[in-house]
Structure 1
């Protein structure tokens, strides 16, 4: 049975790039790995607009169907978002929480869930993001729903190759990768660790919310 890896995160946090790089890296290590693209992005390009409330369920179901389909042919499937992200956006935009039960049930079937950190610059992406939007609220919702549902996850940080190394280290720690292809103990990696959600008042120096707040606020 294929091991499925979920990449979740706010807009413009490098999910698509990381999914492709992970799949390529794992193939280079001798594994049959495939990345499944984001159905919502494809839908918006094809329709020339963003979906309405009654169109969200079909998008979420198609995302998961493609993951299942890929899993029949590969050892490792990397999902560039899952139904949970569709549910979160539907909840934010339309105050519609109908998708959460389906999305959480599906999320629990993934062998590992990685959350892409907010330490990369925002960039435009056509219909889905044509103007900068606050990413912190989406990030907070993803964390909250995963924690509330008891779904373990790890946050991935870093720029470029460091982000890929961070993801590989997280997957190795989660036991998803075969021992023969896991990164060596001494290999340089980015920061990747289980997250405890306590936000601005926490003492974790790696918390990007605290770091970014410090960058925004003028010195006293």
Structure 2
């Protein structure tokens, strides 16, 4: 797996309500660059439903298309609020496995840094998403299993937004 050319891409992973979007937006503002919002949110809002198994690959593909479009304009860093790996984790949980097309996206697309949001902030329900706090814990465990299985190094990011920003800034500077 190799990271694409262009800005250094940072994968921001975690379960629902773990602070991915908040951190991605704050990092982009701090580094005067762009971030890529999670397409799944738009999908759920637009379709008025949660995704089914056959939606997983198109959701991940659209996420990558938006990431590639943003990379053309990003400066230095591109902060990615989720990746195909997170879609694969949800596929594993909700649909019992990872579709071959989705697996190819995961394998073919790498990141310069991978951040995992610790589940240490208050959990809040997120619209039509089907997750609850208990499912979030299961998904977090599956995410850590997938990262280990794929030998993807990551940094667990913890604390308040300010603490998270300080931790990530130290990582990006090094």
TM-score, shorter chain, exceeding 0.5: yes
- Given that 2:10 and 2:79 are in contact with CA atoms closer than 8 Å, whether structure 1 keeps it comes out as yes
What are the ranges of 5 or more consecutive residues in structure 1 without an aligned counterpart? 28-32, 174-220
CA RMSD after TM alignment: 1.5
Task: Give the drift of 1:101.
Answer: 3.5
| 1:60 alignment counterpart | 60
The 5 A counterparts of 1:92-131 are 92-98=93-99, 99-106=102-109, 109-129=110-130, 131=132
C-alpha spacing 1:170/1:129, structure 2 compared with 1 (3 Å): farther
Q: Which has the larger radius of gyration?
A: 1
RCO (CA 8 Å, sep 6+): is it higher in 1 or 2?
Answer: 2
| 2:159 alignment counterpart | 158
Matches of 2:124 and 2:130, distance apart in 1: 8
- Given that 2:50 and 2:130 are in contact with CA atoms closer than 8 Å, whether structure 1 keeps it comes out as no
| 1:145 alignment counterpart | 146
- Given that 2:16 and 2:126 are in contact with CA atoms closer than 8 Å, whether structure 1 keeps it comes out as no
The number of residues matched between the two structures is 166
Task: Give the drift of 1:54.
Answer: 0.9
Task: Give the drift of 1:105.
Answer: 2.6
2:98 partner SS: coil
2:46 partner SS: helix
Task: Give the drift of 1:130.
Answer: 6.5
What are the ranges of 5 or more consecutive residues in structure 2 without an aligned counterpart? 1-5
Matches of 1:74 and 1:5, distance apart in 2: 12
- Given that 1:53 and 1:96 are in contact with CA atoms closer than 8 Å, whether structure 2 keeps it comes out as no
1:134 partner SS: helix
The 5 A counterparts of 1:179-194 are none
Deviations 1:98-134 (A, max 9, x none): 123422331xx21111000011110011011564333
C-alpha spacing 1:147/1:125, structure 2 compared with 1 (3 Å): same
